[in-house]
Amino acid sequence: MKNSVAWVLTEGMAGMVTQAVGLAEAVGLPFKEKTIRLRSPWRWVPPRLWPPGLMGLDPSSDPLAPPWPDLVISCGRKSIGPALAVKRASGGRSFCAHIQNPHVRLHAFDLIVVGTHDDLTGNNVIVAKGAIHRVTQNRLCEAAAEYRESLVGLPRPLTAVLVGGANRVYTMSPNDVAGFAGKLASFSDATGGTLLVTPSRRTGASNVATLKDGLRGHCVKIWDGTGENPYFGYLAHADQIVVTCDSVSMVSEACATGKPVYVFDLPGGSAKFKRFHQALRDEGITRPFTGEPQDWRYEPFNDTTRVAAEICRLLARAP
């Protein structure tokens, strides 16, 4: 694979970028991130109706032009047509790996990576327990060193609290957050430790304000959204982790640490999310967050390394 290069194609949404970039980093090739923007009507139609070539790209999209990459890693519906167009334009030389169910012929891609909750199988399909992500032992060690000084002297245990927000299947209202904050306050009282809270962009200012109000008087650090997100630093230093249920990526990243992971349920959900969460609970990896401290152990899982090794193996076999 000497002198090989890769492209990462996504719509630019944080969850998709995290998965695709995480896999590219694990493969180890130099890579370029490409944000895909589609023109009308191609942004609305199914990927199987993608037009010839790259004519469906909007002018605001990052350009896709020769020299073609050796590897394309795509994630998200809008990246499917462009990824397959690159494969055709390269004469089939570009190896294409897609994360998530593409809802096109499976063998259009060289490799497809899905979670068990996607309920998809095939000769070129790798099934992962959760989402592909960027959490590695090296990154956690680096983050631990970077954030050690800022966390010195805080009461232990340290609990990382990863807060998502509303999406297509879950809702998060100030009332939901008030209930969450109440359980976190009880948890803090019971442990006597510190809550390290990092909201996401989806959390919303009103929900963050509700969280702050509900945790007033407790030992808590809440990231204010400025500067670098302390997400990896909190994961590295945490003794345990609480995460909202709305993100497969956040839950998977938490479970890669091997630390106890509590999942707080929000209203809503889907069959896919329910299968994902139930599988982790059945394996003893996560537990519902009730506000009561517990202690358990499990073998951390990280499918990213396994998928990256398979891509490297297949690339080495390519002519």
Average pLDDT on 53-60 reads 91
| CA separation for the pair 31, 193 (Å, rounded) | 41
Q: Prior bond to 157 cis, omega within 30? A: yes
pLDDT at 80 over 70: yes
Q: How confident is the model at residue 1 (pLDDT cuts 50, 70, 90)?
A: low
Q: Does the residue 31 lie in any domain?
A: yes
Q: In this structure, are 198 and 254 located in the same domain? A: yes
CB crowding 205-224: b at 16 or more within 10 Å, else e: eebbebbeebbeebebbbbe
Q: Write out the residue range of the structural domain in which residue 313 sits.
A: 6-133+304-317
Query: pTM of the full predicted structure?
Result: 0.89
Contact (CB, 8 A) for 82 and 57: yes
Provide the pLDDT for residue 298: 94
Q: In this structure, are 142 and 123 located in the same domain? A: no
Provide the pLDDT for residue 65: 95
Q: In this structure, are 125 and 150 located in the same domain? A: no
Q: In this structure, are 233 and 256 located in the same domain? A: yes
Number of domains the chain contains: 2
pLDDT digits (tens, 9 = 90+) for 303-315: 899 999 999 999 9
Q: In this structure, are 108 and 251 located in the same domain? A: no
pLDDT at 98 over 70: yes
| CA separation for the pair 173, 38 (Å, rounded) | 32
Provide the pLDDT for residue 87: 96
Provide the pLDDT for residue 118: 86
pLDDT digits (tens, 9 = 90+) for 213-262: 999 999 999 999 999 999 999 999 999 999 999 999 999 999 999 999 99
Q: Does the residue 226 lie in any domain?
A: yes
Q: In this structure, are 162 and 207 located in the same domain? A: yes
Provide the pLDDT for residue 319: 66
Q: Does the residue 294 lie in any domain?
A: no
Q: Does the residue 295 lie in any domain?
A: no
Q: In this structure, are 205 and 280 located in the same domain? A: yes
pLDDT at 162 over 90: yes
Provide the pLDDT for residue 226: 92
Q: In this structure, are 169 and 245 located in the same domain? A: yes
Q: Does the residue 299 lie in any domain?
A: no
Q: In this structure, are 204 and 189 located in the same domain? A: yes
| CA separation for the pair 255, 62 (Å, rounded) | 33
Residue 165 belongs to domain with CATH number: 3.40.50.2000
Provide the pLDDT for residue 63: 95
Q: How confident is the model at residue 279 (pLDDT cuts 50, 70, 90)?
A: very high
Picking from 269, 271, 272, 234, the residue whose alpha carbon sits closest to that of residue 254 is 234
Provide the pLDDT for residue 277: 96
Average pLDDT on 69-82 reads 96
- Kindly tell me the sign of the dihedral angle through the C-alpha atoms of 127, 102, 304, 265: negative
pLDDT digits (tens, 9 = 90+) for 113-158: 998 888 899 999 999 988 999 999 999 999 999 999 999 999 999 9
